Chains A and B, each alone.
Chain A
């Protein structure tokens, strides 16, 4: 069965600290896609990154980086030098490859990140 686990319910850091948000997934498929979304206090869901199961290269985008490790079924997200504006709930999500059908997203429970000044 497909499942996404974000074990950290809440994380609180002080501005400029680095923080890593964990995500572990389960799937029987060999082809799948992983996503991170940000939900700021205003409530919308903002797409951050997509990774497919064949691409284990880590990715960096500014202060954000993602570490995909297929061997441990993890797709962790690190924010370097956190800022108050990073305060939000972050969701990891999984989509299984279903050609011509458009895969549903299976979300984790989310990690609420609070960055204090």
Chain B
């Protein structure tokens, strides 16, 4: 069964450094998402992306965050100058169509640790 893949599984970065989290969505999916889960808390929406542009973003997704689909298969989340509070599990998800009833399929996540 096709799946969303995320790399790396764990990223350790010094505060203030830039980090790029990578995702390969399911190949025929059109919508892409990033979510964040701080340890022990709920999963929070960051951003949705369709047709090479952001569809919606949350308050968390401020100017230090950006997303890109550089080559038609990868979908990346960049955090420009990391802070301690960015430490979390980051999940990428994709869905087949642009309608809200489609389930989003999640990758296994990237655990980001900021030191």
Contacts and interface: CB of A to CB of B under 8 A. Distances in A.
Given A91-B43, A106-B45, A97 B108 contact: no
A72 interface: no
Interface in A42-71: 42-47, 50, 52
Interface residues of B, number: 32
Interface residues of A, number: 30
A51 to B, nearest CB: 9
B89 to A, nearest CB: 7
A44 B101 contact: no
B55 A110 contact: no
Contacts of A42: 108
A110 B41 CA distance: 8
The 4 closest A-B pairs by CB, nearest first: A103-B100, A102-B31, A45-B106, A104-B45
